[in-house]
Structure 1
Amino acid sequence: MAKYPIFTALLILLLLSGCSLLPKEEDETIGWSAQKFYSEASFAMNEGDYETAIRYFEGLESRYPFGRFAMQAQLDVAYAHYKDGNPEAAIAAADRFIRLHPRDAHVDYAYYLKGIVNFNRNLSFITRFIPTDTSQRDPGSTIDSFNDFAELVRRFPESPYAEDARKRMYYLRNNLAAHEIHVARYYMRRGAYLAAANRCVTVVEKYQRTPAVKDALEIMIQAYDKLGLEELSADAQRVLALNLENGALQVPESDYEEKSLGKAIWDYLELDKN
């Protein structure tokens, strides 16, 4: 009976030796310098090969954890995740850069990128080519994007990204106000007149100087009439008439147009030119 344990042990040794003979995947990055890692990652990024770019950026930081290339890789990998369609990883990487390098000269870009990621969360492939009303979508990421851009503008008012952030905030604010109007109209159709009026009060109080204020006042008048609240209806009518008379409701729509980021990070940081 003792021969079976011996046979089993021999079989295991043969299997292990056989496994050692299998070809191992060759690591082409062996011997690469930090600059080589960064150069290859940048090339992959420009070619749209974001998975490879991410692998090289992460390999750079792992093998050369200190120095300007490693620090830059921590920021660039966030952009690569964004372009690769992984918003959660992009925001996590941006947050990590902010946490590790709060005083870095390029930390403003991390805040800006977070805003961009959330800004585009609700944009599907189709909506990029076919006009749709994005204000009808869930406002969660819109609020997150607005807050990200607001934080950027507050902390870095002179940042090269601040102007674009302000334009996007104006657009997002209009969208949030329009979303409240969509909800109010839904409540009106369902006969929930008080809920509709309350939504419109939010627009008037929180989103002043947006195109939605006129619609909000008009819905408030209808809702209060339905509820028999004549005094509140009359007040809303007076506010509407006064604002129409002095032109306060003639608010232009946002002139913001979505722009392709393209190589914005490379144009600003220019480390790939070193």
Structure 2
Amino acid sequence: MLSAFSLGVIAVSLLLGACSSNEPREPKGVTEQDFYEAAQKQLRANQWEFAIQNLQALEENFPFGAYAEQAQLELIYAYYKNFEHEAATAAADRFIRLHPQHRNVDYAYYMKGLASFTEGNSLFERFVPTDLTQRDPGLARESFAHFAQLLARYPDSSYAPDAKKRMIYLRNLLARSEIHVANYYFRRGAYLAATNRGRFVVENFQQTPAVPDALAVMAQGYYLLGMQELSDAAIKVLHTNYPNHPALENGVFNYDYGAVAVGESWISKVTFGLFDKREPPGFDTRELYNPEFRKAPENLDRTAEKESGSWLKWVTFGLVD
């Protein structure tokens, strides 16, 4: 039996030995099981880099061994936990390509979505909450697409429930991102662009908490564009479905909601905007319609682990722990 120290340096010795030859070779006295047991101990100890090295060495030296496919799956997870999200995605793609009919291939699809879901999160952001809706939505769209692919291919997968929860969160995030862009366009005086963003949310993100603000954006935008009939139509839908929206006062839309700059006062004109300067419209009712939005990323991050018992049992599919 190898000691804990010797297990920890198995991969390091392999890397040093590899410098003398480009051909993978079986290390003397080290078995496939030794590599696998070393990796399991390092995974338990959150020693992700050592685990990655041993899993890579296992596959390199025993590509057709009993643990080879399992090592490939666990390597995806180790990369993910080590914040190497691009490597995790690449490893997942490789597993899918090599083993398209594997009984656990759904896990690879799931981890692709999970890697994209957290790729933009730095270590700092894990401890200091940030507003993810104001970041580039590209990764959110990518993650949503990966989870959607998982559900389309494996609707009965054990990872499907968690994937659905994340897709709901991502859909809400993408919708709110559109509202932030609309608010930005209002500040720039680009009323048509702002209005189009609101309409896009209403048409493509129904049932999300951003819809009330999207209707308010349309009402405000059409008003500023001089299209009162369209503004009134948006107000009617807003009042019918969200009568408690703060932009409504006794059922009447307040175009000055949030100190809207719909026109300059005489003081502002005389002082060239130095005094009595109004801010452009800004719609953000997440506290009212989605009060849990700040907690969602943290809660979802550990859903799969909680539902399946210990994380080690989860990643090894019950083979360990």
The CA distance in 1 between the partners of 2:137 and 2:84, in whole Å, is 19
1:126 — aligned with what? 124
Match of residue 270 from structure 1: 318
Residue matched to 1:40: 38
Query: Residues 135 and 175 of structure 1 are in contact (CA less than 8 Å); yes or no, is this contact kept in structure 2?
Result: yes
Q: Percent identity?
A: 49
- Deviation sequence 1:224-259 (CA, Å, 0-9, x none): 1111011211221122123236x9xx9656684233
Give the equivalent residue in structure 2 for 1:225: 223
The gaps in structure 2 that reach 5 residues or longer are: 1-14, 19-25, 246-287
Shift of 1:126: 2.7
CA shift in 2, pair 1:270/1:29, >3 Å: farther
Distance 2:192 2:234 in 1: 14
One-letter amino acid matched to 1:74 = Q
Q: Deviations over 1:9-65 (max 9, x none)?
A: xxxxxxxxxxxxxxx957995332222211111111221222211111111111111
Conserved 8 A contact 1:174-1:211:
yes
Under a length normalisation based on structure 1, what TM-score does the superposition of the two structures give? 0.83
State the SS of the aligned residue for 1:152: helix
| Larger helix share, 1 or 2 | 1
Q: Post-superposition shift, 1:107?
A: 0.8
Cα distance in 1 for residues equivalent to 2:28 and 2:176: 55
**Unaligned ranges ≥5, structure 1:** 1-23
Match of 1:258 in 2: 300
Matched to 2:319, the amino acid is L
Query: What does residue range 174-253 of structure 1 map to in structure 2 within 5 Å?
Result: 174-244=172-242
C-alpha distance in structure 2 between counterparts of 1:35 and 1:74, whole Å: 15
Q: Does 1:144 pair with 2:162?
A: no
* Letter aligned with residue 32 of structure 2: A
Q: Distance in 1 between matches of 2:311 and 2:145?
A: 21
The 2-side partners of 1:265 and 1:44 are apart by 11
Residues 265 and 232 of structure 1: CA distance in aligned 2, closer, same or farther (over 3 Å): farther
Aligned partner of residue 121 in structure 2, secondary structure: coil
Give the whole-Å Cα distance in 2 for the aligned partners of 1:265 and 1:196.
Answer: 48
Q: Which of structures 1 and 2 has the bigger CA Rg?
A: 1
Contact 2:165 2:300 in 1 (8 A): no
Cα displacement (A) at 1:171: 0.6
SS of residue paired to 2:239: helix
TM-score normalized with structure 2 length? 0.71
Q: Is the 8 A contact 1:87 1:117 kept in 2?
A: yes
CA distance, structure 2, for counterparts of residue 129 and residue 244 of structure 1:
35
Q: Deviations over 1:65-101 (max 9, x none)?
A: 1144101111111111112221111100000001111
* Residues 114-162 of structure 1 deviation map (CA, whole Å, 9 limit, x = unaligned): 1111111222223222332111111011111111111111211221111
Q: Does 1:156 align with 2:203?
A: no
Q: How far is the alpha carbon of 1:173 from its aligned partner?
A: 0.5
Distance 2:151 2:17 in 1: 47
The 8 Å contact of residues 209 and 251 in structure 1, kept in 2 or not, is answered as no
Q: Conserved in 1, the CA contact under 8 Å of 2:312 and 2:320? A: no
Shift of 1:168: 0.7
Distance 1:31 1:239 in 2: 74
Q: Secondary structure at the match of 1:258?
A: helix
